[in-house]
């Protein structure tokens, strides 16, 4: 693999586990890292210099810019103004245009529509009258979502019958909203790609993703047929080219009987790609660093089959499971809180039969992600 001529200093808005895993990958290339995050116990602090301040603090942003050659961000809800301030001093990837489009579900859906990407019917909702008109057009069931700041199923409600409408309006009516048709999907999946400054692009194998209570619990990869993979690559390619995108981007999709329908774009590395650390030749984290630092990208090829189990609220004690080959526990070192993403385990296996056997060894641990993974492969 070709390396950039000199190690880079890279700044991140956000110091959570995504920034930490990107920094850990980048350190193996010789790069060093700084992070801005309002939380003093941000886990990326172990992997570089942590500046503790609000994202809108102009002095902190100047200090962050002074510490680096290039900048990036680990989540899409970072203020556009902060990115614009950084951009005056150094290159920021992915571009602010991509960030803006992904912050507003309405703009995002309009873009997907413009690019000819299949998606559920949708309508903007800014008043009760517009909600009634939207439900008339879209019908039940539908999903009412806040246009901004929604993630992991937050800020959304499913409307199944007319009685749900009043309840949803009461809860969400203060925000600009979007109503989407409910997609009766077979399962959820994602496609992660990395695009270099040269425009060269690599695509990871698609993951099949199981969500529990709106949050990703398990990913399986590589899962889908060559034709599904090709379909998803085509959709992601058009988004990457539209933005002349640099970095890693994820498209979350619904699989409707072999036909893919887009859910949303994440302009960043993704939870469903954590398994690429051990499962692929070059991980999504390393490829994001490679892309934004002007390097050649690494191969996304899957080395074997992988399952990622997400640990929310507590990390089950692995004990002797850790001695089994192909078991990789990542503890982010975060303080436990109910529902908080504390770590994940990637299980790698020769094939899906071998994977079933390995996952069964986890079955005594009463954890919803493990139970969901075992049930899904049964
Ligand atoms: P989101 O925050 O939009 O990614 O939604 C979180 C989860 O809610 C998704 O992963 C799906 O499980 C579910 N969901 C969101 N939108 C829809 C939809 N239009 N139809 C069916 N399920 C949905």
- In the predicted structure, residue 307 carries a pLDDT above the cut 70: yes
Predicted pLDDT at 255: 97
CA of residue 137 to ligand 1 center, whole Å: 19
Tell me if 159 CB under 6 Å of ligand 1: no
Q: Domain 187-377 belongs to what architecture? A: 2-Layer Sandwich (3.30)
Tell me if 261 CB under 6 Å of ligand 1: no
- Those residues whose C-beta lies under 8 Å from the C-beta of residue 240, and which sit 6 or more positions away, are 193, 195, 201, 249
Q: Tens of pLDDT along 260-293?
A: 999 999 999 999 999 999 999 999 999 999 999 9
CA of residue 50 to ligand 1 center, whole Å: 34
Which percentage of the chain shows pLDDT scores above 70?
A: 98
Atom of ligand 1 nearest to the CA of 182: 20
- Those residues whose C-beta lies under 8 Å from the C-beta of residue 225, and which sit 6 or more positions away, are none
Average pLDDT value for the chain: 95
CA of residue 263 to ligand 1 center, whole Å: 7
Q: What is the mean pLDDT of residues 329-355?
A: 97
Atom of ligand 1 nearest to the CA of 153: 6
Predicted pLDDT at 238: 98
Start and end residues for every CATH 3.40.50.20 domain found in the chain: 9-92
Which residue has 């559920």 as its token pair?
120
* Fold held by 9-92: Rossmann fold (3.40.50)
Start and end residues for every CATH 3.30.1490.20 domain found in the chain: 121-181
Predicted pLDDT at 282: 98
Q: Which of 263, 265, 271, 310 to mutate to test the pocket of ligand 1 (most atoms within 8 A of CB)?
A: 263
In words, the CATH class of domain 121-181 is alpha beta
- Those residues whose C-beta lies under 8 Å from the C-beta of residue 52, and which sit 6 or more positions away, are 37, 38, 39, 40, 42
CA of residue 121 to ligand 1 center, whole Å: 13
Neighbouring C-alpha atoms within 13 Å toward the C-beta of 125: 31
Atom of ligand 1 nearest to the CA of 145: 3
Of the two residues 304 and 366, the one the predictor is more confident about is 304
- In the predicted structure, residue 1 carries a pLDDT above the cut 60: no
Q: Tens of pLDDT along 169-198?
A: 999 989 999 999 999 999 999 999 999 999
- In the predicted structure, residue 151 carries a pLDDT above the cut 70: no
Predicted pLDDT at 262: 98
| Distance of alpha carbon 267 from alpha carbon 86, whole angstroms | 18
Helix or strand run (H / E) with residue 307:
strand 305-312
Tell me if 30 CB under 6 Å of ligand 1: no
Tell me if 217 CB under 6 Å of ligand 1: no
- Those residues whose C-beta lies under 8 Å from the C-beta of residue 170, and which sit 6 or more positions away, are none
CA of residue 10 to ligand 1 center, whole Å: 33
> Of the candidates 232, 169, 237, 168, which has an alpha carbon nearest to the alpha carbon of residue 200?
237
Instruction: Report the interhelical angle of 17-27 vs 284-292 (nearest 10°).
Output: 70
Judged by phi (left if over 0) then psi (alpha if -120 to 50, else beta), residue 199 lies in left
Which percentage of the chain shows pLDDT scores above 90?
A: 94
- In the predicted structure, residue 25 carries a pLDDT above the cut 90: yes
- In the predicted structure, residue 162 carries a pLDDT above the cut 80: yes
Q: What is the mean pLDDT of residues 82-103?
A: 96
CA of residue 101 to ligand 1 center, whole Å: 18
| Distance of alpha carbon 222 from alpha carbon 229, whole angstroms | 9
Atom of ligand 1 nearest to the CA of 120: 19
Place 5 in a pLDDT band, splitting at 50, 70 and 90.
low
Residues in the chain: 378
Q: What is the mean pLDDT of residues 217-232?
A: 96
CA of residue 274 to ligand 1 center, whole Å: 20
CA of residue 90 to ligand 1 center, whole Å: 36
In this structure, the number of other CB atoms found within 10 A of the CB of residue 101 comes to: 21
The C-alpha angle 171, 164, 128, rounded to 5 degrees, equals: 60
Predicted pLDDT at 6: 81
Tell me if 75 CB under 6 Å of ligand 1: no
> Of the candidates 133, 137, 147, which has an alpha carbon nearest to the alpha carbon of residue 176?
147
- Those residues whose C-beta lies under 8 Å from the C-beta of residue 90, and which sit 6 or more positions away, are 11, 65, 68, 69, 70, 71
Tell me if 215 CB under 6 Å of ligand 1: no
């Amino acid at each position: 693999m070709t390396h950039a001529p000199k190690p880079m200093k890279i700044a991140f808005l956000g110091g959570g586990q995504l920034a930490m895993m990107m920094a850990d990958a980048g350190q193996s290339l010789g790069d060093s890292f700084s992070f801005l995050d309002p939380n003093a116990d941000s886990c990326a602090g172990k992997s570089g210099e942590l500046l503790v301040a609000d994202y809108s603090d102009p002095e902190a942003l100047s200090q962050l810019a002074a510490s680096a050659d290039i900048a990036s961000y680990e989540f899409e809800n970072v203020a556009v103004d902060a990115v614009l301030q950084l951009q005056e001093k150094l290159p920021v990837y992915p571009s602010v245009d991509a960030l803006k489009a992904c912050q507003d579900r309405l703009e995002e859906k309009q873009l997907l529509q413009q690019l000819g990407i299949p998606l559920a019917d949708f309508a903007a909702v800014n008043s009760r009258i517009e909600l009634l008109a939207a439900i008339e057009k879209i019908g039940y069931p539908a999903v009412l979502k806040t246009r901004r700041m929604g993630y992991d199923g937050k800020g959304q409600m499913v409307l199944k019958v007319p009685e749900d409408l009043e309840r949803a309006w009461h809860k969400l009516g203060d925000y600009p909203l979007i109503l989407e048709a409910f997609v009766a999907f077979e399962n959820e999946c994602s496609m992660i790609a990395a695009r270099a400054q040269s425009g060269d692009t690599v695509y990871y194998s698609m993951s099949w993703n199981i969500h529990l209570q709106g949050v990703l619990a398990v990913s399986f990869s590589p899962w889908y047929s060559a034709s599904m993979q090709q379909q998803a690559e085509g959709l992601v390619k058009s988004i990457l080219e539209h933005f002349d995108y640099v970095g890693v981007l994820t498209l979350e999709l619904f699989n409707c009987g072999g036909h893919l329908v887009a859910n949303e774009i994440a302009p960043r590395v993704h939870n469903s790609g954590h398994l690429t650390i051990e499962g692929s030749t070059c991980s999504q984290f390393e490829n994001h660093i490679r892309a934004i630092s002007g390097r050649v990208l690494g191969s996304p090829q899957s080395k074997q089959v992988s399952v990622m189990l997400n640990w929310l609220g507590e990390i089950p004690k692995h004990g002797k499971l850790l001695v089994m080959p192909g078991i990789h526990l990542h503890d982010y070192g975060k303080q436990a809180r109910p529902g908080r993403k504390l770590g994940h385990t990637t299980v790698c296996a020769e094939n899906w039969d071998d994977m079933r056997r390995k996952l069964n060894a986890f079955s005594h641990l009463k954890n919803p992600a493990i139970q969901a993974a075992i049930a899904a492969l049964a």
